[in-house]
């Protein structure tokens, strides 16, 4: 690969905007951010817009026509990573929702075999140690408390994967188990939980660091019992949030963003249909329908989201008036920092993973390791 200078766009380096900057790529890494094109370097002019770090999506259930599940192997994980890279997420955590122990073990083994796959940052296990009262689209029959063997297996997996996020409910684990997981390097995230504020705070004190799809599949924010959402909004834990106007009302999104200037990040909660024109798919042998920007079970229950992170960024900016630098950081720098990924910034020596958005914040181009994908 040769050196390349991208010109004509504002460059968001992960923290601030640089109007009319030149971003120089040297193969898979960034060489420099400067004001002119270096001598001898080919220039590639862009029609305005913004160059930003590639998005980092920590909740990706599937894509490219496949789900993370019983048939998952390293090749399927690579397929999902490739599908989301073309949609602007150049780094992801493929996510397994509640399933049988043997499926969890298979997915962990596949993730360990994925070392070096472009875009693979680790795994997210969303369940099965959840609260059946807040099952959402998860199969309640597969939800169960954490046992000693589960805790040991997760601690072992965390030592072999680049990153491991585990969503669990406080009622399904003990504080001691949370502490052991956190000490082993697991990013413990609270979700699918009918938890009080006190229960959530105890879990955070034990080592949980995050909450999964804030407001969805959790106790509501009440004025006397603020529940898990209140513990997040009044605390310091990070939280993913789905910004599609369907999962969380725009007004509630605005309240959350005002309450937490830092720590919230965007997730897609994408499913198998991401990157395809498919109209339905199967989730634990149940049909999920793609209808009007929603993914729903046949009973109307939301089952993931029909969303990409660049679309979520555009929603924050265009619909809610959130500053572009904050919106882009919520899709890059913040989630990358949570999982310790070398991503989320455009800086000399950093990975040449980036997206180009036009003046309407619509995705126009993606580069991964310096190669243009879309």
- Among all residues, which ones are annotated catalytic? 269
Query: In sequence order, what DSSP letters do the residues of 251-311 get, joined into one string?
Result: HHHHHHHHH-SSSEEE---B-TTTTS--SEEEETTEEEEEETTEEEETTS-EEEES--HHH
Determine contact, residues 263/256, Cβ cutoff 8 Å.
no
Output the CA torsion 31→336→338→147 (10° steps).
Answer: -130
* d(C-alpha 155, C-alpha 186), whole Å: 7
Q: Residue count of the chain, please give it.
A: 374
Closest CA to 168 of 141, 207, 197: 207
125 C-beta neighbours (distance < 10 Å), count: 26
* SS3 state at 367: strand
* SS3 state at 122: coil
* d(C-alpha 323, C-alpha 221), whole Å: 26
Phi, psi of 361 (to 5 degrees): 65, 30
């Amino acid at each position: 690969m040769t050196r390349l200078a991208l010109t004509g766009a504002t460059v968001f380096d992960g923290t601030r905007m640089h109007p009319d900057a030149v971003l120089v790529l040297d193969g898979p890494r960034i060489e420099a951010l400067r004001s002119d094109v270096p001598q001898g370097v080919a220039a590639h002019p862009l029609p305005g817009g913004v160059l930003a770090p590639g998005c980092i999506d920590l909740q990706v259930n599937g894509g490219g026509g496949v789900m993370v599940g019983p048939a998952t192997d390293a090749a399927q994980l690579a397929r999902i990573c490739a599908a989301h890279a073309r949609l602007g997420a150049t780094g992801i955590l493929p996510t397994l929702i509640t399933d049988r122990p043997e499926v969890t073990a298979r997915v962990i083994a596949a993730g360990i075999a994925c070392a070096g796959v472009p875009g693979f940052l680790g795994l997210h296990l969303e369940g099965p140690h959840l609260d059946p009262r807040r099952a959402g689209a998860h199969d309640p029959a597969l939800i169960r408390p954490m046992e000693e063997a589960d805790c040991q297996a997760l601690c072992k997996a965390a030592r072999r994967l680049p990153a491991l996020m585990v969503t669990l409910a406080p009622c399904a684990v003990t504080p001691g188990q949370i502490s052991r997981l956190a000490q082993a390097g697991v990013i413990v995230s609270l979700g699918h939980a009918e938890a009080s504020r006190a229960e959530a705070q105890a879990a955070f004190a034990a080592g949980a660091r995050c909450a999964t799809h804030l407001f969805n599949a959790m106790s509501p924010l009440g004025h006397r019992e603020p529940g898990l959402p209140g513990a997040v909004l009044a605390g310091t834990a990070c939280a993913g949030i789905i910004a599609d106007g369907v999962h969380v009302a725009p007004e509630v999104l605005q309240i959350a963003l005002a309450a937490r200037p830092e720590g919230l990040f965007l997730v897609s909660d994408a499913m198998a249909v991401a990157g395809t024109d498919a109209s339905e798919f199967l989730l634990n042998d149940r049909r999920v329908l793609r209808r009007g920007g929603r993914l729903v079970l046949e009973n109307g229950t939301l089952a993931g989201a029909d969303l990409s992170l660049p679309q979520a960024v555009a929603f924050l900016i265009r619909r809610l008036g959130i500053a572009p630098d904050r919106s882009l950081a919520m899709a890059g720098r913040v989630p990358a920092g949570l999982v310790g990924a070398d991503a989320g910034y455009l800086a000399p020596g950093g990975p040449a993973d980036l997206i180009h958005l036009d003046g309407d914040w619509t995705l126009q181009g993606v580069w991964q390791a310096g190669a243009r994908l879309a």
